[in-house]
Amino acid sequence: MAADYPDTASGAYRAVLQVIESVEPRIAAATRKELADQRDSLKLIASENYASLAVLLTMGSWLSDKYAEGTIGHRFYAGCQNVDTVEAVAAEHARELFGAPYAYVQPHSGIDANLVAYWAILATRVEAPGLADAGVKHVNDLSEADWEALRHKLGNQRLLGMSLDAGGHLTHGFRPNISGKMFHQRSYGTDPQTGLLDYDALAAAAREFKPLIIVAGYSAYPRRINFAAMREIADDVGATLMVDMAHFAGLVAGKVFTGDEDPVPHAHVTTTTTHKSLRGPRGGLILAQPEYADAVDKGCPMVLGGPLAHVMAAKAVALAEARQPAFQTYAKRIADNAKALAEGFLSRGARLVTGGTDNHIVLLDVTSFGLTGRQAESALLDAGVVTNRNSIPADPNGAWYTSGIRFGTPALTSRGFGAADFDRVAELVVDVLKNTQPAAGARGTSKAKYTLADGTAQRVRDAAAELLAANPLYPGLTL
């Protein structure tokens, strides 16, 4: 990984851990152990990455101690001049990197960014009575019927988002998230034959449903999206196009997604996390067209707690890194590696949702190995391969046990893995899955239990250790 300053960082971390150890040794031990665990496993979780040491070190400072509710130059607290600088630099990098007229770098996470965006769109577009005028009791006491009545009083605003089993995210209007209560939601899915987004079906659904907001973006869809087509569909029905690029922001930043595949010029509002393919600190970020900027700018205190100045500082550092030419090479390798991983699976007879990938995600249908996602995820973990189970379209095993395993290439690409390494990873994964047998539970075949053939876990761990040693995490960082 570029510019990791291992000598300075080793000294800094030794000192940091010593200080922590003197107060709470268990936290120092868990921090050390986490590094060891991350170094020793094949991290294939599509939403995770390894931030640079510069980004990590930026977070450990007294910027954390400052309260700074409000916006740059307009705070509810005195003495915010340095936080103003931090926020302004981060926002400037975000605007420049993504070519956006406006950037808001305060959101603490992707969920928070989406909530700020929703509220900003409502505030910009809907004239509605407040909660009190709507005759509402305490909001926590609202039943589903109450929510529906409230939505009607507020104009029953509609949101059209990608279904969960096609790869959408909970914040795109699903009940476990507040977005599913705020909006009357309808989902669009993918073509049952190809697994690909069907723009004609989406346009027809939009014409019938007439949403206020169309949300594009995904957590588990292994393909690119044509955002110019999405914007046409939104314009046709007068909807606001909101793109949640949480997963693929790194591919946008690294110019792998350009033209129609770059959401920023096409969406009215674009949200993202900063910690996935973008390789920054945990956090969120919003880019907006000028007409939404004022409302987004009110995110704190409307939706968010006080800004985390130390994290905004780390966002600035990560965004500065992403503006370097090396980041474009990194982003291209993420996509090339995903293709190599997909081809590695296909050549060994595995079935992939959509038949492949053209982003950073590969979604493997594990039913062809006779397994549920839950069994496959656990067996892979036994062998030191860290993934997560995921629904596939029309999943026969439901959202808990699932039938898929989602793989992502950003993290191992940060370690230096190339296409040949990812082919080897595919071989190791297939080795584990072929040697995993579903086990019978008390009431028939369990969707969770499995047995892994003797020797498999060790064989795969040994092979993975060679790949990991050749591509060390934070090389030179000794604690």
The one-letter code for the residue type at 198 is D
Residue from 93, 125, 158, 169 in contact with ligand PLP (CB under 6 A): 169
CA distance 284 to 377: 28
Letter for the amino acid at 21? E
* Shortest Cβ 479–ligand PLP spacing (Å): 28
Q: Is 109 in the site for ligand PLP (CB under 6 A)?
A: yes
> Of 4, 40, 69, 382, which is the active-site residue?
69
CB of 308 to ligand PLP, least distance (A): 13
Q: Find tokens 């069994």 and name the residue.
A: 375
**Contact range with ligand PLP by CB under 6 A, out of 30-38, 103-111, 379-387, 388-396:** 103-111
Residue 329 catalytic?
no
Active-site annotation holder among 240, 270, 271, 273 = 273
Compute CA distances 159 → 79, 139, 186, 286, 394, whole Å. 41, 21, 6, 19, 21
Phi/psi for 60 (5° steps) reads -90, 60
- Site map 111..130 versus ligand PLP, x via CB under 6 A: x--x----------------
Q: Is 389 in the site for ligand PLP (CB under 6 A)?
A: no
Least CB distance to ligand PLP at residue 448 (A): 23
For 278-392, strand residue ranges (E) read 284-288, 351-352, 361-365, 385-386, 388-390
Task: Identify the active-site residue in 67, 298, 339, 382.
Answer: 67
10 Å CB burial of residue 39 (0-12, 13-18, 19+) is middle
- Indicate the residue among 109 and 226 with the shorter CB distance to ligand PLP: 109
Q: How far out from the chain centre does Cα 305 lie?
A: 21
Least separation in angstroms between residue 167's CB and ligand PLP is 9
Nearest distance from C-beta of residue 352 to ligand PLP, angstroms: 19
Q: Is 330 a catalytic residue?
A: no
Alpha-carbon torsion 130, 134, 137, 142, what sign?
Answer: negative
Is residue 456 involved in binding ligand PLP (CB under 6 A)?
no
Look at the chain and count its residues: 479
Measured distance CA(468)–CA(295) in Å, rounded: 46
Q: Could you tell me the two tokens for 125?
A: 């577009």
Pick the catalytic residue from 95, 153, 282, 339: 282
CA 351/CA 368 separation, integer angstroms = 7
CB atoms within 10 A of CB 363: 27
Largest interatomic CA distance in the chain:
67
Of the pair 45, 237, the CB lying nearest ligand PLP is at 45
Annotated ligand binding at 168? The verdict is yes
In the region spanning residues 196 to 235, those forming contacts with ligand PLP, defined by CB under 6 A, are: 217, 219
Rounded to the nearest whole angstrom, what is the least distance from the CB of residue 111 to ligand PLP in the complex? 4
CA distance 445 to 320: 52
* Contact pick of 47, 367, 403, 456 for ligand PLP (by CB under 6 A): 47
Q: Which is nearer to ligand PLP, 47 or 397 (CB)?
A: 47
Catalytic residues, by residue number, are 67, 69, 244, 273, 276, 282
Extract the annotated binding site: 164, 168-170
> Which spans of this chain sit near ligand PLP (rule: CB under 6 A)?
47, 109-111, 114, 169, 171, 217, 219, 244, 246-247, 273
Extract the annotated binding site for (6S)-5,6,7,8-tetrahydrofolate: 164, 168-170
